[in-house]
Structure 1
Amino acid sequence: MDRRDFLKLTSMAGLGVAVGSQFSGEARAADPYTGPLWLFVHAGGGWDPTSFCDPKGAKSLDDPDRMNNYLTSEIETAGAIKYAPVGTNAEFFTKWGNRLLVINGIDTGTNSHEAGVRTTWSGTLSEGRPSLAAMLAGVHAPTQAMSFISNGGYDFTASLVPVTRVPDTSTLGRVAYPNRIEPGDENTRFYHTEATMDRIATARAERHQVKLNQQRLPRLRQSMSTLYTSRLGQNELKQLIQYLPETYYQNGIARQAQVAIAAYKAGICVTANLSTGGFDTHGNHDNDHIPALSRIWTGVDQLMEFAEASGIADKVYVVIGSDFGRTPGYNSGNGKDHWNITSMMMMGPGIVGNRVIGTTDDRHAAHNVNPQTLETSDSGIRMTPGHVHKALRKLAGIDTTEIAREFELTDTSESLPFFG
């Protein structure tokens, strides 16, 4: 019986227990999580794949309706991956192309920010569906102190797991060492004696049990137990403090990843949303969009650098996506507007890199693919985020779990072999 089934059974039976307290009624923190770490990188605003992994150059810069301000003849390649000759694309794809799977021609079915973010990270346009990050955390470690960390993007959980936001790393010290006047100083004075802290812990446990006994709704009882258990996670947070770096990267994505990787090393994190904005370039597209892409590439490069230094690079999945794509060509303000066709990129254990799946035409309209071979086919199917998520669920080993059945991707019937 898995942890989720156990919680449901105990809740329905009216037992006042938390995870691990099957007989004593005494809550304790869950065992450390040791599976893979999933990092979901969100490019907020809607990125332009034709500016990086699905390049569309101009035959002539005199073309009044050119797709981009670079020539088709200037498009570059790194192995099997073509990329636009702008910004820091060359450095990124040359370094990481052999590990990257690129999926082009994904139809999000929307040009709305809210709907686009939701479908990219949950796999469906339907409301009320959890993100893949929340599902993974809910399956593997729903009671860990920081099972799902979010720095933005789509982080709806459908009550599967609490979401943790860490706007300031100094907050972690205050939570891990609540009795220290100066959390970062081991020699600081304390607010209370050790005996007083023990009495406080006992009073909290007794109060929790009283409140739990008063509650009859199974879902609320489960939530109360999960919350109480997470509050017992101070020892795990102390472990986290030990793994935090002495120096943080300046890049936002990388800095967010450092906290997530430290939490993973402490055994309390399964997934994290990493997010940066600046992609909604309705005006001055090239001047703003290309530097925003460079921030993503720098962030991913540095997060992998930190994962390598932390000894976990072989356990890290990185999935990169955005709300949707951007329109073919430029508007009157040299910007690009919302477009439903987009791309996603990913790397990690079991993902064969140096591959590109899916194609688009010269005006960035998606081609259909053969569902068996993934080759371009007029009689094939249109790829959607749902197809990507169906494959990711299978890759992650959660496709047959109760949570996956509860939130089945009903608007996507085909299973595409993105990962073999």
Structure 2
Amino acid sequence: MDRRDFLKLAGSCGLMLGLDNRPAQSQNNFPGPFWVSIFAEGGWDPTCLFDPKGQPINSYGAGEIRQEGVFSYAPYKGPARNVWNPVTQQEDGQDFYDRFFQKYKNDLLIVRGIDMGTFSHETGRAYALAGNLGQSWPAFPAMAVACTRPDLPMAYMSQGNYPETGGLVAATRIGSVQGFITNLQRTSEPNLVHPGGNDRFMNDDLWNGIIRPAMNARTKNLSSSSSSTPQSRRASILHAVRTSPGSLGGLNQFLPEGGLTDWGNPLFAQIELMTAAFKAGVAGGASVQLSSFDTHENHDQWHYPMCDDLLRAIDYLIHRLDLLGLREQVTIVVSSEFGRTPLYDNGSSGYNDKMGKDHHPISGMMLMGRGVKGGRLVGGTDDKVLPLKVNPATLALDDVDGIILRPEMIHLALRRFAGIETNPLLNAFVLDAPLLPILEGANKGSS
């Protein structure tokens, strides 16, 4: 298979390869750090998850609110369900809310009462993922990787409705995960008629003695070119796939032995690919999304299962990172573009006439992993789901000297922790916000 056929195949499965200007190399010794953004697309309802409010805002009573450590959380009020759990390798029921907070109460940092300042999906998406209200700035994982390891073959992986990189680093867009893997197999072993099979186009002596050396020499020459043309950059990644078993062509060895988990939760396969790319040393950051949180109708029926799926995906991500020995090197940020309406004008219910909930600008974030001191709750909301002020020095609730939390404050802390706050690459993306001690090292000078 030549380069043109590979690119056609990549496009047919929804994959777009992003390449840095430098030749791609095997980076299977890359130790991290890694950056992950998980986005709840559509606007989640924090009061149905980590900022619980009883009736009349929700269908549950105040007495049903649960507690684990410093975290109060909502009860699961959606329909009964049996869903596949790839961690336990069996189906289980709707009690995952409890298990999640029991399991991660000492690892989680939850920030409540973040003012998104918008009812717009597009604007809120950019604000949550990039820290900027009004422009499509790079998502934080893209910024972090662009400033630290843009030379990785798939430096930034992106799945979802926010592929923005600001031109800092090219995004590897993931559509079908299985299609992505299949095309990597076809490209790394182009003499096989079918990926993983035994049938060959040419006998091994001819292929290994003449064709492969000539093909590798050609792509190496193109990828080593001093120019930064699209042809040289694409040849760079093709050369890495074909010649570096620890690079893109080696992703398979870090995927689950039984194959991709391509049923149930759509994030499972994305997580398997993402973590395999981290372990193979070919990617440094990723953004994924779970859709369908925009529940304008039948809120409880649809929203609680989505929140349940989100928690299961986070749990599976931690599980995969543990298996691959990467957990201590990954920072995870979970967010959404805004929240859902707490009360309508009559004050009698948080639901509209279709038993749905509409857009509300107050949201929150969950953080875990490297740099995150867990077991902490920052911020809050009142009984009308309006934000409470936070002291910028202590992070304690402070109605006198406090400030309203906004996404750029979290992003500035992330940049400081990543050591990229003053990187010249970000001169066009400067944040105007106070620096809060949200993360380890976020109140210290940049490295």
Q: Same fold (TM over 0.5)?
A: yes
SS at match of 1:193: helix
Aligned-pair CA distance for 1:51: 0.4
TM value normalised by structure 1: 0.84
Task: Name the aligned partner's letter for residue 148 of structure 1.
Answer: Y
Match of 1:29 in 2: 25
> Counterpart in 2 of 1:134?
142
Kindly indicate whether residue 221 of structure 2 is the aligned counterpart of residue 231 of structure 1.
no
For residues 322-378 of structure 1, the C-alpha deviation after alignment (integer angstroms, 9 at most, x for no partner) is 111111111111110011110100101221111110011101011121111112223
Aligned to 2:339: 325
Looking at structure 1, the residues matched to 153 and 24 of structure 2 have their Cα atoms a distance apart, in angstroms, of: 11
For 2:236, the aligned partner's letter is: T
Deviations 1:362-411 (CA, angstroms, capped at 9, x unpaired):
010111211111122234221111001001111222223222334211xx
Which amino acid letter does the alignment assign opposite residue 256 of structure 2? Answer: P
- Bigger CA drift: 187-196 or 400-409? 187-196
Aligned to 1:278, the other structure's residue is in SS state coil
Per-residue deviation, residues 78-131 of structure 1 (Å, max 9, x unmatched):
100010112532121111121000000111111100111111000001324111
CA distance in 1, matches of 2:201, 2:405: 58
Q: CA deviation at 1:294?
A: 0.6
Does structure 1 residue 55 correspond to structure 2 residue 52?
yes
Residue in structure 1 matched with residue 70 of structure 2 by the alignment: 80
- Cα offsets for 1:157-194 (capped at 9, x unmatched): 11222211331232332233233222223x33145723
CA contact (8 A) 1:172 1:241 kept: no
Aligned to 1:402: 424
Quick one: which of 197, 214, 223 aligns to 1:199?
A: 214
Give the aligned partner of residue 276 of structure 1.
290
Report the secondary structure of 1:419's partner residue.
Answer: coil
Closer, same or farther: CA 207–222 of 1 in aligned 2, 3 Å: closer
Which consecutive unaligned segments of at least 5 residues does structure 2 have? 1-19, 78-95, 343-349, 441-447
Question: Following the alignment from structure 2 to structure 1, what is the Cα–Cα distance between the partners of residues 51 and 121?
Answer: 21
User: Which secondary structure does the structure 2 equivalent of 1:159 belong to?
Assistant: coil
Change (3 A) 1:207 1:317: closer
Q: Using the alignment, how far apart are the partners of 1:30 and 1:246 within structure 2?
A: 23
Q: Equivalents in 2 of 1:204, 1:352: separation in Å?
A: 46
Inter-partner Cα distance in structure 1 for 2:24 and 2:223: 13
The residue type paired with residue 305 of structure 1 is H
1:369 maps onto 2:366 in alignment: no
SS at match of 2:127: helix
Out of 125, 128, 144, the residue aligned to residue 133 of structure 2 is 125
- DSSP 3-state at the match of 2:318: helix
8 Å contact 1:134–1:148 — kept in the other structure? Answer: yes
1:353 equivalent among 374, 377, 383: 374
Return the alpha-carbon distance in structure 2 between the equivalents of residues 270 and 385 of structure 1: 23
The 5 A counterparts of 1:235-246 are 235=244, 236-246=247-257
Query: In the alignment, which of 402, 405, 425 is matched to residue 380 of structure 1?
Result: 402
The alpha-carbon distance between structure 1 residues 336 and 268, as it changes in their structure 2 partners (threshold 3 A), is same
Aligned partners of 1:253 and 1:354: how far apart in 2?
25
Equivalent residue letter for 2:409: H
Q: What is the aligned residue count?
A: 379
| Residues 1:346 and 1:148: Cα distance change in structure 2 (over 3 Å) | same
Q: Which runs of 5+ in 1 are unaligned?
A: 1-16, 20-26, 59-65, 214-220
Structure 1 position 205, deviation (Å): 5.2
Aligned partner of residue 366 in structure 2, secondary structure: strand
Of the three residues 168, 172, 189, the one matched with 2:200 is 189
Over 3 Å counting, the alpha-carbon distance change for 1:209 and 1:347 in structure 2 is closer
Q: Give the whole-Å Cα distance in 2 for the aligned partners of 1:208 and 1:233.
A: 9
Q: 1:75 to 1:327 in 2, by over 3 A?
A: same
What's 2:437 paired with?
417
Q: Quick one: structure 1 residues 128 and 75, their matched pair in 2 at CA, closer, same or farther if it must change by over 3 Å?
A: closer
- The AA in structure 2 aligned to 1:144 is L
Letter in 1 for 2:101: F
Distance 1:77 1:226 in 2: 52
1:115 aligns with 2:123: yes
Deviation at 1:223, TM superposition (A): 6.2
Return 225-234 or 82-91, whichever deviates more.
225-234
Q: TM-score, normalised by structure 2?
A: 0.79
Tell me, in whole angstroms, the C-alpha distance in 2 between the residues paired with 1:237 and 1:206. 19
Q: 1:172 aligns with which of 184, 188, 197?
A: 184
Amino acid at match of 1:76: R
Q: How many angstroms apart in 2 are the aligned matches of 1:241 and 1:158?
A: 31
Structure 1 counterpart of 2:362: 341
Distance 1:342 1:140 in 2: 30
**Do the aligned partners of residues 172 and 333 (structure 1) sit closer, same or farther apart at CA in structure 2, a change above 3 Å counting?**
same
Cα distance, 1:223–1:355 mapped onto 2, change above 3 Å: farther
d(CA) in 2 for partners of 1:413, 1:385:
9
* Cα distance between partner residues in 2 of 1:223 and 1:104: 44
Whichever residue aligns with residue 64 of structure 2, its letter is E
- CA contact under 8 A between 2:328 and 2:369: conserved in structure 1? yes
Identity %: 36
- Kept in 2, the 8 Å contact 1:150–1:165? The answer is yes
Higher mean displacement: 131-140 or 106-115: 131-140
